[in-house]
Structures are given as structure tokens and as C-alpha cells.
Structure 1
Amino acid sequence: MAKFNKNTSKYLKPFKNWFILISAGFLIWMIFFDANSWLIHHELNNDIEALENEKEYYKREIEKDKKAIKKISSEVGLEKFARETYYMKRENEDIYIIEYEDSLNVKNNE
């Protein structure tokens, strides 16, 4: 029975020290339970990274839109856009739309 107490006391000896107990409790508290815990910081860092990626996406979209606006701002570009997108035409002009089989959305009833 004495050997059992010596082996267990050898492993429990660090936990009898108040400094180690308080430090371990403090670390556990700061990692998991505190309002500024590591877990919350990790979630917030992930949110920040996602928002920065979204910001970059919108910056690229703004640049594409600026280029499109620049193209449309001229008379020739505006006419080209109106003809291609809205199938507008001048007076006394006929427009024929040619669609190929691979560009049609056909549903097969098989």
C-alpha cells in the first residue's frame, strides 16, 4: 500500500504547488471561458478573412463595371450595347437573329 501512495504522490506532486494550479486555471480560463478567449479570437479572425475576400471580390466587380461604363459612354459603344442586348434597330432596318442548336436551351423529354 505504501508503494501505491509513493507512485501516486510522485505524479500528483506538481498539482500540490499553488503556483501551478493557479497558472493552469488561468490558462484554461483565458483559452475557453473569457470574453477575449482564443476561441472567440479565432472565429473573429475567420470572419475578418472572409470579409476581406468579399471586399476584394467587390473591388474586382467595380473595376469590371467601370470598364463597361467606359465602353457604353461613347455613342458607338452605346449603340452596340443596345443592338446586342436589347435587339434595337434603326428605322428601315431589319434584324435577323440566328441561333445555333448548341446555343439553345432545349429540354429533352426522354
Structure 2
Amino acid sequence: MRQSIKFTKNFYFIATVVFLIWMLFFDSNDFYSQYQLKNKVEELEDQKAYYQDKIKDTEADREALLNDAELLEKFAREKYYMKKDGEEVFVVVEE
């Protein structure tokens, strides 16, 4: 018992315990901050994967539009309401 009391009164033991407590709970890089940063990185990686899939889809659509004149005309008419000379375009808005 006396030996454990001597051990806890040792300067190096006390300094090490204080240092560990400081690093684990009070430092700017404590466990909670590291956990939050890890979650943020995972979220950003998920977003990156989502946007990379969207880019692939868009590139495929672009290639299809550049290679097919009929599809390009359909896209222009539907998306940008373009028309040929002498045509009238009616836009129906649903409520």
C-alpha cells in the first residue's frame, strides 16, 4: 500500500497523468474532435462518390446528344423551348 502511495506521488507519474488527461479531453485534437472530423471525412467521401456518378451520367448524356441529331433536337425543344421557324410552342403549366 505504501509503495502505491509513493508511486502516485512521483513527479513523473503525476506529470504523465496530467499530460494524458490534457491531451485526451482539453486539447484541440482530443478524441471528440477526431471523431467529428472522421465523420465529416466519411460524409465528404460519400458526396464525392455521388458527384462522380453524376458526372459519369452527364458525360454519357452529352455523348449521346452530340452523336444523335434527333435526340439533340428533342432535348432542345423540351429543355429550352426552342422551335423551328413558323412553329408555335405552347407551354402547359400544371398546378
Q: TM-score, normalised by structure 2?
A: 0.65
CA separation in 1, counterparts of 2:25 and 2:47?
A: 29
Give ranges in structure 2 of 5+ residues lacking alignment.
none
Superposition misfits of 4+ residues, deviation over 2 angstroms: 15-27, 33-37, 86-97
- Render the CA deviation track for 1:41-98: whole Å, top value 9, x for unaligned: 222212211221221121122122112212321312211111112232223444455x
CA separation in 1, counterparts of 2:17 and 2:42?
A: 31
Does structure 1 residue 59 correspond to structure 2 residue 49?
no
Q: Percent identity?
A: 35
Q: TM-score, normalised by structure 1?
A: 0.58
Give ranges in structure 1 of 5+ residues lacking alignment.
1-12, 106-110
Query: What secondary structure, in the 3-state scheme, does the structure 1 residue paired with 2:85 have?
Result: coil
CA separation in 2, counterparts of 1:87 and 1:29?
A: 64
The aligned runs of 1:39-50 (5 Å cut-off) are 39-50=32-43
Whose radius of gyration is greater, 1 or 2? 1
